[in-house]
Structure 1
């Protein structure tokens, strides 16, 4: 579960903590946890790092870090420069994420609807899922507008500060939504980010009643977004579709009048398709 990451004294980001479910210690492998912790460290710091930097950011001692780095390098998940003594993620690290996208039937089933929304709006259209307290972008059709925000598939943003995140949170049961907000840092990402828990709860109620959410420069400056929930099997919210545009071209009022109806309609069409897939 990714939150606002803490920084070390050297400016490195530490991997976000995550809540462990009930664990059977007889089956739990701490060595795998250490390996994934190191990979998470590279996710939190997308740049080459030395052994000392990985050790500091991950919290592992240097001996354990060295063994994990050696193993991941041997398995070709990392590369190592003999000149700079730095480690980097290899192209093979993309395989797991790519396999997830290929194994998720929602991605393929909804793509034609993303294309339709993009054609009608002429703006960027995204499909996102909730992962912990973040949304993660799992499909995307970008706008040709040079002023559109740069976000890649696999990118994460705090759910509370985004339109798709709020569209999903608003349609969870109250206990689940409250738990996610309580577990979120609620730190301002931009000067426009809503950080009051009470205001967010009121906003989620509004989203639930209206069927769509709008976030104006709360996660990224210059970006305004409207989103609607996508429902799956048993009418449970499983994703959100959003249209993202530039504040240089769009006002909140115009987004609500022109883009929100497209988002809601596309989300309903997606829900009819996605509801056929039962996912655990």
Structure 2
């Protein structure tokens, strides 16, 4: 029964990734978020493709700015960016831990370090350094707490899901088998759901960016009527640019300092760590890791 479910899941995931990878090329979104949606779909299968269509895909030409301005879509982009980047490091950590036969706390620690490290230094700071004026150091500083809070809540749901599933699914500890990747997909999906509320708070406080709109520049040698049309389209896009998206990018570039007090940020950090600890406790109690 489970083998059939996994086979269907991987078939649907393959088709979903193929669809998103091809279709998103024409979506006027930031390149890093395009890659993020492809990765998210690889993790979460048809759900990732569904979220792409519902949350990012331009419904009609020229409407992307207004379409992604909705707060829930902004938060979707933020959460997707987090899970996509962190997921690469987490999966790498899980494979390495399996190869080294690490279990329990050591396994979780390795996944956390690699997930946070890749998500923060690469997907957040490096790829989004333009939002910090092009400075990588400033981007590292501005994105640290946002990445920390989101990662903690992601792992709070992912760890117990992963540990409980690996306890009951045969072959789930072996990266060479399909059960391992199925379990990790379910764990990342649980982490995505759990991280969404935290990302809502981060986006609303301008500590993280949401969806963006990046349109290709019109060629200099374009025909006059096309150029005029492009100018009209650019003006239309500018007049209807999503305030939330621009505001979040601006807030992130300044570290969100004007929107969040140190006390509030400290409180949310403690909350995220408490949730992470709770997740580890549930995993230890019911998953039985040693």
- Please indicate, yes or no, whether the TM-score normalized by the shorter chain is above 0.5: no
Greater relative contact order structure (CA < 8 Å, 6+ sep): 2
Q: Using structure 2 for the length normalisation, give the TM-score.
A: 0.26
Q: Which has the higher helix share?
A: 2
Q: Which has the higher strand share?
A: 1
